[in-house]
Amino acid sequence: MAIREIQVKSILQRSGIPGADYVINPYTGCVHGCVYCYARFMRRFTGHADAWGSFLDVKSNAPELLERQLSRRKTPLDGSVFLSSVTDPYLPAERKFQLTRRVLEVLLKHQASISILTKSDLVTRDIDLLREFRNCSVGLSMMTVDDAAAQQFEQYAALPSRRIQALQTLKANNIRTYAFISPYLPAISDFDALFERLSGAVDEIGIEALNTRGGGMGGVIDALNAYAPHLTKQCFQLVRDDQYWDALEVHARQCAAQANIAFMGVFRHGR
């Protein structure tokens, strides 16, 4: 793993993501090893010849730069800040560099509204800060509750069991939580199993369909063939079946309503 510290000129950027007005990515790159990763397109902007997943750029001046950006504003920051869109804010390197924690300290000083999405239970380290925000939500993404299955698709990410425990810990500390079931793999992901494990630990839940145009389909097929080759054909038939996604959305919405959990919907990608 090649890790380098870099200086950037901007860290707080306008976002095109629904529900997020701004985005902060403290790192460039990711080491979770997710075969379906949609963010691999970022490599062409980094100057790296190495494969996606084999490098990490640490934006070492991010906290100081963010402070300057926010201090220059004539009015308080309007809208919400999302961490992060094309990296994970709680990669293993965060234990050493603490960029995300230092960024949170700046955002807390300016009382920004924040939303975090991660695959790591390291987020619980920052509960002391997260509890101080007036408007804060923390999400953990996962595609399955099966630890063995997850290791086939997300080799170096925290196991789903650890992510669910993190959600429970956050919820117990009065922090708003959400689960993002992403990507949802038909025949592999099991909504009912996920919902059963997540109930009581989350305030909100959403689903994202597998992105077949994200550049990782070869890896997804290889992982399916290694884990459950008898399900590969069924999975890809259902991925393209609109009726399947319609039925899943109706079912998920009903389950969420019965449990008094907010439902974000099912996010689908074009074919």
Tens of pLDDT, residues 174-219: 999 999 999 999 999 999 999 999 999 999 999 999 887 765 678 8
| DSSP β-bridge partners for residue 81 | 22, 114
pLDDT of 68 > 60? The answer is yes
Query: What was the pLDDT predicted at 45?
Result: 59
| DSSP β-bridge partners for residue 177 | 138
State the average pLDDT over residues 81-106.
96
Residue carrying the six token digits 């959600």: 167
- d(CA 90, CA 162) in angstroms, rounded, equals 14
Tens of pLDDT, residue by residue over 16-30, are 888 889 999 999 998
47 — pLDDT class (breaks 50, 70, 90): low
39 — pLDDT class (breaks 50, 70, 90): low
Query: What was the pLDDT predicted at 43?
Result: 60
53 — pLDDT class (breaks 50, 70, 90): low
Length of the chain: 271
pLDDT of 271 > 60? The answer is no
Query: What was the pLDDT predicted at 218?
Result: 84
40 — pLDDT class (breaks 50, 70, 90): low
Strands across the sheet containing 113-118: 13-14, 22-23, 80-83, 113-118, 136-142, 176-184, 204-209, 262-267
78 — pLDDT class (breaks 50, 70, 90): confident
pLDDT of 80 > 60? The answer is yes
236 — pLDDT class (breaks 50, 70, 90): confident
Q: Quote the pTM value.
A: 0.93
Query: What was the pLDDT predicted at 38?
Result: 75
Query: What was the pLDDT predicted at 214?
Result: 62
How large is the C-alpha radius of gyration of the chain? 18
Tens of pLDDT, residue by residue over 137-182, are 999 999 999 999 999 999 999 999 999 999 999 999 999 999 999 9
73 — pLDDT class (breaks 50, 70, 90): confident
Task: Give me the chain's average pLDDT, please.
Answer: 92
State the average pLDDT over residues 207-235.
87
Q: What is the 3-state secondary structure (H, E, C) of 174-243?
A: CCEEEEEEEEECCCCCCHHHHHHHHCCCCCEEEEEECCCCCCCHHHHHHHHHHHCHHHHHHHHHHHCCHH
Q: Which residue has the higher pLDDT, 8 or 269?
A: 8
